[in-house]
Amino acid sequence: MEELKARGIKLIELSPEDEPFSINCLAIAPGRVLMSETSERTLEKLDKAGIETIGIDYEAVWRGGGGIHCSTAPLVRDRLT
């Protein structure tokens, strides 16, 4: 976490009322993530921080032990400096 802070990356904590799998989201662009719509409080925190969130129905996959990031292919992203 210290390295992320040193790079100027703001950390947003998962709301304790939301499921732990809430953090298993997918960054699809800078400032835009795809995540479960059931993570209402975390979605709200991200929105307040200026992160665009796209909530999807993903609960059935969670029950099987998977998450959004784990069930997608990696994206090619610009390198962090």
Question: Could you list the residue range(s) of the whole structural domain that residue 54 is in?
Answer: 13-63
Q: Count of domains in the chain? A: 1
Asked, for residue 49, whether it belongs to a domain, the answer is yes
> Is 35 within 8 Å of 67 (Cβ atoms)?
no
Output the pLDDT for position 73: 64
CA gap 18, 41 in Å, rounded: 7
**pTM flag (> 0.75):** no
Asked, for residue 6, whether it belongs to a domain, the answer is no
Output the pLDDT for position 32: 92
Asked, for residue 33, whether it belongs to a domain, the answer is yes
Q: How many residues belong to the chain? A: 81
CA gap 57, 62 in Å, rounded: 10
pLDDT along the chain (81 residues), means of 10: 90 86 82 86 92 84 68 69 66
Output the pLDDT for position 64: 65
Asked, for residue 43, whether it belongs to a domain, the answer is yes
> Is 37 within 8 Å of 56 (Cβ atoms)?
yes
